């Protein structure tokens, strides 16, 4: 009988790098099985009887302090076990601090916080550092330990900070098999001191177990019931067998010159404000495809609000509330899309038909098991607001081709008619162009009231955020605030009007701030206009699907003298900007590892990309399923696993900070309003398997239920725009707060992000406050 593989117990203190550490363990310790538990999943006294099943324990990082029982949980007990229970333990960051403090060390704050900072680490070249060369290690800590009063603790590594002096970076217990490091061996930027240190820990652990006659207990049903399947475990979404063959899209490919996305939208009746409309536009590089939904009266709308036990399905003919039963909204939509599967479309087209819409920030917060804050339930945007698109038009900006598609049966007549309409529109455009009669899009004149966030309050919240960072509660906090625009427009449309000022504003937005992930979504009661530069998650069609995230952290405003070289020096040369981006890259690696397993790679780190109004620092992270799991899921051609990756990755880490759960909890205390549509995601899930979702930033949205069924209107005079009421729009903006943040610079960055959107309302860009 072959020996059982080694089993490692990884204790997670609610960190956002845990799966990165699990991946590092799998890389360093051949064939190991990593079982992950939260530090409060079980009482330590109950855990003792299960420790014989494990070859060793790894105590991961986490927010907070080892002095606070709620932060450290069962970890505290590991260092004080009776001899009969002792086993090898390796601590990281919070685990390092806990080992030291429990043996008499003093916990102190650093004079200068080290979050996302790389430091040279010197070491003794013994024990876990034997044979390890130079180390440049990533640090995420504001607290550190001083060993003056510690008993049986020996220093193994240290860093010399100009601001903090000598800082302990690694320790060992003199008589027990306990080792720990303050830095993060699992970070993507740690060079040396990563897998080699974990491998040395494993060699030392095996030697200690052997010399002390410790033999791990064979795995049995009792252990399996508590600890479950080891990581990585791919959780396939539910699959419902089809009773009939899935349809294939019918497609007409056109080569028409001089027809833009807005031209096509106007052919489709986008100016009728009473009708739903969806467009996802690639208005700038590196975007390529624009997707326009050709909705009908039968197009099915899917909406859901947190706290409801039903999903609302509606079109122009009916509205039904469908009980979720045993489902949550995610699994319900997976089941819905299982029945809508489409195959055999043109492989070069990313979207054949499927769901288009948005998911709110609070929907992701709910997944983290943090209670979403609700302030105005009677007049709020749905948290899920989608429409199932059966007819669509796709523009390929690279080839210039236009594709007309339908997944409806026997729809050739519509395809032919639509092709004729587009040809006619192109001829008309050519005539207008020769006569030079096409006016530029301008902001519609109106009397607008712009209420900016209070500058002093915003700066005070930055101070509070930095205090949380200094206390070890978070590494980075993405603080945001809402700007409110009220349009007292005497020409505002009545409910029966077919004129859409919001569409004119969107056209102006795409001209002044073209973006690769722009969008115009009119899904009542919500209208969303976006010029987002940031892809959140894209997934290609299975099998062999790639899951890609492109976080943006680091922004500098364009100007006459701000060349690429200047922007690169300002962004790549900034410790603050690199640290912000690094923290989110490590967080996203964790999210992807948690979903797809070990195959996660940083394809691009901190590259400067150019946009219309700003330069930004962009990274690219990709993940793939292991071959066996990919093949097992290949029958789910509708991309249900991509939907699962999306669920596990929300809310976007670039809009929260890290660790994600604790950061979200802190942000709820710092921000006055719910974010709602802002900093959620919008995009599509193709019924043929792919998907692409962008972060809802550089965007504005309004609530308007004039066109909803009377039973679902919200007659709140403070929010209901009505026929004679002004329009109310919201723009969210903010930035990542680190210990290096300057209060005025953060305020200015928020205003810079706000400016390009605010201009579409005929308002001047915000000035200093």
Active site residues: 93, 184, 186
Determine how β-strand 727-737 pairs with β-strand 56-59: unpaired
Cα–Cα distance measured from residue 251 to residue 451, given in angstroms and rounded to the nearest whole number? 47
Cα–Cα distance measured from residue 580 to residue 745, given in angstroms and rounded to the nearest whole number? 15
Which residues partner with 394 through β-bridges? 291, 403
H helix and E strand count, the chain: 19, 33
The token pair at 354 is 């499927």
Give residue 582's Cα distance to chain centre. Answer: 14
- HEC profile of 650-676: CCCHHHCEECHHHHHHHHHHHCCCCCC
Determine how β-strand 657-658 pairs with β-strand 681-686: unpaired
Question: Which residues lie below 8 Å from residue 643, measured CB to CB, with a gap of 6+?
Answer: 237, 330, 333, 334, 337, 685, 691
Cα–Cα distance measured from residue 473 to residue 470, given in angstroms and rounded to the nearest whole number? 8
What's the N-to-C CA distance of the chain in angstroms? 74
Could you give the 3-state DSSP secondary structure of residue 595?
Answer: helix
- Return contacts of 717-722, CB within 8 angstroms, 24+ apart: 718/379, 719/376, 719/378, 719/379, 720/379
Question: Which residues lie below 8 Å from residue 30, measured CB to CB, with a gap of 6+?
Answer: none
Ramachandran class of 125: left when φ > 0, alpha when ψ lies in -120 to 50, beta otherwise: left
Tell me the backbone φ, ψ of residue 656, rounded to 5 degrees: -120, -55
Cα–Cα distance measured from residue 764 to residue 741, given in angstroms and rounded to the nearest whole number? 27
Give residue 160's Cα distance to chain centre. Answer: 35
Determine how β-strand 56-59 pairs with β-strand 7-12: parallel
Could you give the 3-state DSSP secondary structure of residue 5?
Answer: coil
The token pair at 64 is 């907070």
Cα–Cα distance measured from residue 718 to residue 379, given in angstroms and rounded to the nearest whole number? 9
Closest-CA residue to 598 (of 232, 60, 233):
232
Cα–Cα distance measured from residue 687 to residue 467, given in angstroms and rounded to the nearest whole number? 47
- What is the maximum alpha-carbon separation in the chain? 92
Closest-CA residue to 707 (of 720, 717, 695, 696):
720
Determine how β-strand 727-737 pairs with β-strand 614-624: unpaired
DSSP 8-state code for residue 231 = B
Cβ atoms of 418 and 294 within 8 Å: the answer is yes
The token pair at 560 is 């006459």
Tell me the backbone φ, ψ of residue 684, rounded to 5 degrees: -140, 155
What does R_g of the chain's alpha carbons equal in angstroms? 28
- Measured torsion, CA atoms of residues 498, 397, 434, 445, in degrees rounded to the nearest 10: 40
Could you give the 3-state DSSP secondary structure of residue 117?
Answer: strand
Cβ atoms of 651 and 365 within 8 Å: the answer is yes
Cα–Cα distance measured from residue 557 to residue 430, given in angstroms and rounded to the nearest whole number? 36
Cα–Cα distance measured from residue 16 to residue 93, given in angstroms and rounded to the nearest whole number? 13
The token pair at 418 is 């639509």
Which residues partner with 438 through β-bridges? none
């Amino acid at each position: 009988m072959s020996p059982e593989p080694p089993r490692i117990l990884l204790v997670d203190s609610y960190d956002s790098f845990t799966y990165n550490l699990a991946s590092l363990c799998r890389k360093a310790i051949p064939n190991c099985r990593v079982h992950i538990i939260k530090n409060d999943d079980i009482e330590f006294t109950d855990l003792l009887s299960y420790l014989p099943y494990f070859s060793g324990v790894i105590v991961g990082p986490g927010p907070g302090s080892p002095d606070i029982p709620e932060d450290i949980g069962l970890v505290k007990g590991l260092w004080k076990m009776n001899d009969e229970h002792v086993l090898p333990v390796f601590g990281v960051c919070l685990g390092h601090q806990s080992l030291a403090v429990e043996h008499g060390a003093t916990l102190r704050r650093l004079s200068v916080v080290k979050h996302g900072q790389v430091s040279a680490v010197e070491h003794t070249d013994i024990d876990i550092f034997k044979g390890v060369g130079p180390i440049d290690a990533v640090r995420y800590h504001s607290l550190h330990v001083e060993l003056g009063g510690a008993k049986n603790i020996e220093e193994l590594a240290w860093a010399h900070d100009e601001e903090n002096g000598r800082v302990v970076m690694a320790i060992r217990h003199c008589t027990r098999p306990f080792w720990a490091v303050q830095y993060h061996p699992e970070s993507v930027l740690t060079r040396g001191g990563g897998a080699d240190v974990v491998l040395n820990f494993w060699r030392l652990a095996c030697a200690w177990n052997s010399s002390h006659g410790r033999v791990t207990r064979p795995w049995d049903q009792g252990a399996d019931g508590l600890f479950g399947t080891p990581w990585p475990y791919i959780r396939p979404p539910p699959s419902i067998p089809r009773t009939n063959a899935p349809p294939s899209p019918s497609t007409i490919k056109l080569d028409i010159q001089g027809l833009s996305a807005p031209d096509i939208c106007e052919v489709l009746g986008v100016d009728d404000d009473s009708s739903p409309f969806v467009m996802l536009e690639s208005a700038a590089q590196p975007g390529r495809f624009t997707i326009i939904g050709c909705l009908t009266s039968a197009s099915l709308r899917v909406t859901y609000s947190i706290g409801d036990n039903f999903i609302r399905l509606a079109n122009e003919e009916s509205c039904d509330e469908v009980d979720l039963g045993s489902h949550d909204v995610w699994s319900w939509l997976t089941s819905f899309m299982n029945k809508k599967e489409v195959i055999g479309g043109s492989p070069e087209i990313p979207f054949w038909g499927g769901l288009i819409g948005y998911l709110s920030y609070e929907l992701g917060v709910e997944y983290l098991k943090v209670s979403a804050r609700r302030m105005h339930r009677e007049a709020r945007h749905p948290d899920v607001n989608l429409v199932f698109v059966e007819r669509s038009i796709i523009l390929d900006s690279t080839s210039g081709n236009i594709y007309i598609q339908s997944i409806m049966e026997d729809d050739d007549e519509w395809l032919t008619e639509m092709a004729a309409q587009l040809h006619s529109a192109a001829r008309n455009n050519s005539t207008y162009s020769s006569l030079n009669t096409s006016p530029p899009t301008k902001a519609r004149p109106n009397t607008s009231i712009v209420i900016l966030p209070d500058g002093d309050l915003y700066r005070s919240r930055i101070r509070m955020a930095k205090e949380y960072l200094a206390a070890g509660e978070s590494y980075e906090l993405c603080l945001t605030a809402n700007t409110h625009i009220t349009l007292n427009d005497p020409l505002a449309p009545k409910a029966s009007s077919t004129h859409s000022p919001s569409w004119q504003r969107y056209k102006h937005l795409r001209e002044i701030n073209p973006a690769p992930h722009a969008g115009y979504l009119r899904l009542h009661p919500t209208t969303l206009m976006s010029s987002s530069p940031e892809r959140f998650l894209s997934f290609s069609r299975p099998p062999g699907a790639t899951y890609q995230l492109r976080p943006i952290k680091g922004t500098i405003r364009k100007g006459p003298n701000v060349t690429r070289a200047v922007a690169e020096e300002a962004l790549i040369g900034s410790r603050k900007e690199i640290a912000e981006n690094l923290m989110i890259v490590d967080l996203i690696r964790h999210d992807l590892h948690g979903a797809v397993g070990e195959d996660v790679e940083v394809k691009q780190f901190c590259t400067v990309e150019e946009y219309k109004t700003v330069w930004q620092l962009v990274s690219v992270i990709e993940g793939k399923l292991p071959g066996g799991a990919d093949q097992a899921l290949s029958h789910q051609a509708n991309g249900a696993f991509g939907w699962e990756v999306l669920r596990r990755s929300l809310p976007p880490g670039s809009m929260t900070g890290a660790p994600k759960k604790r950061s979200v909890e802190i942000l709820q205390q710092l921000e006055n309003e719910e974010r709602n549509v802002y900093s959620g995601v919008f995009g599509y899930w193709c019924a043929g398997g792919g998907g692409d979702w962008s972060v809802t930033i550089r965007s504005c949205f309004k609530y308007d239920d004039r066109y909803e069924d009377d039973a679902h209107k919200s007659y709140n005079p403070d929010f209901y725009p009505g026929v004679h009421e002004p329009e109310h729009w919201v723009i969210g903006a903010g930035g990542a707060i680190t210990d290096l943040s300057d209060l005025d610079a953060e305020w200015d960055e928020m205003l810079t992000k706000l400016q390009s959107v605010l201009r579409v309302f005929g308002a001047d860009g915000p000035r200093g406050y």
